[in-house]
Amino acid sequence: NAGVTQTPKFRVLKTGQSMTLLCAQDMNHEYMYWYRQDPGMGLRLIHYSVGEGTTAKGEVPDGYNVSRLKKQNFLLGLESAAPSQTSVYFCASSYSQVDIQYFGAGTRLSVL
Amino acid sequence: RKEVEQDPGPFNVPEGATVAFNCTYSNSASQSFFWYRQDCRKEPKLLMSVYSSGNEDGRFTAQLNRASQYISLLIRDSKLSDSATYLCVVTPDNYGQNFVFGPGTRLSVLP
């Protein structure tokens, strides 16, 4: 009963380094999302996908890229990490855009 | 005005108390409403959906007031395990929009 799985769980980067966060879901959901959560600011949508091969920008897309080559996977990339990208990143998936979203356990990223 | 606003708290209540949270939203066309619960350093998890007629799940009651554009969550007979942050979630409409999360209200239930 995996649901939504995120890897890695923790990561420390130096400014300018790149990395990719992986999100995998086994619920056959069409919609997938990447959020970041910062203290006092709630969850903010970075990018989302409404199906395999599609991606769209959310509220705070700058500095991030995404890809959805397979329905079950949604990748979030940071090409050149900045300290402002230090945050907790959550992936989520849902059956439809107004349906319940199920979240992964999160990735804690620190950029030094 | 932010799309979704919540009192950040913290609400510190004794075990057995009744506590209520409100959440206001700015888009009158909003269609779907949810309460999520987030434990410290964990992912958000659905607590309950909020229906127009109101709904109850055990000790938890959710209400929607479309005229005043707010939703509420009532927790009766608080337990220590209810300590968490409660996130109000709104979908602006049924077409082309995504969830909007409130900043959350922190609840601490004290022994």
Do the beta carbons of residue A18 and residue A81 sit within 8 Å? yes
Residue B51 contacts A, CB cutoff 8 Å: no
Chain segment B86-96, per-residue pLDDT in tens: 999 998 765 55
- Determine the pLDDT at residue B97: 62
Q: Which pLDDT belongs to residue A105?
A: 97
Q: How would residue B28 be classed by pLDDT, with cut points 50, 70 and 90?
A: confident
DSSP string, A45-75: EEEEESSTT--EE-SS-TT-EEE-SSTTEEE
What is the amino acid identity at position B34?
A: F
For A97, which of B44, B46, B98 is closest by C-beta distance?
Answer: B98
Report the sign of the C-alpha dihedral through residues B102, A36, A50, A55, in that order: positive
Cis omega (within 30 of 0) for bond into A8 = yes
- Residue B31 is given by DSSP the state -
Cα distance from A91 to chain B (closest Cα, Å)?
9
Check pLDDT > 90 for residue B50: yes
Q: What is the pLDDT of residues A58-99, one digit of tens each?
A: 989 999 999 999 999 999 999 999 999 999 999 999 998 778
CA distance A110 to B71: 35
Mean pLDDT of A39-54: 90
Interatomic CA distance for residues B37 and B91, integer angstroms: 17
Enter the DSSP assignment of A96: S
Confidence band (pLDDT; 50, 70, 90) for B9? Answer: confident
Rounded Cα gap, residues A8 and A21, in angstroms: 7
What's the start-to-end Cα distance of chain A, in Å?
Answer: 36
Chain B residues within an 8 Å CB radius of A104: 43
Examine the pLDDT at A1 and tell me if it is beyond 90: no
User: What is the model's pLDDT at position B30?
Assistant: 84
pLDDT at A28 over 90: yes
- The predicted-structure confidence for B96-106, as pLDDT tens digits, reads as follows 567 889 999 99
> Which chain B residues contact residue A90 at CB under 8 A?
43-44
Is the pLDDT confidence value at B56 over 60? Answer: yes
User: pLDDT tens digits, residue range B60-85?
Assistant: 999 999 999 999 999 999 999 999 99
CB–CB of A92/A76 below 8 Å? no
Residue B103: closest CA among chain A residues belongs to which residue? A42
Which candidate, B24, B39, B30, places its Cα nearest to that of B72? Answer: B24
Residue A93 tokens read as 């998936």
A contact set with B (CB within 8 A): 33, 35, 40-45, 48, 58, 90, 97-98, 100-106
Query: Shortest Cα distance from B58 to chain A (angstroms)?
Result: 20
Q: In this predicted model, which residue has the larger pLDDT, B1 or A29?
A: A29
Residue A42: predicted pLDDT:
82
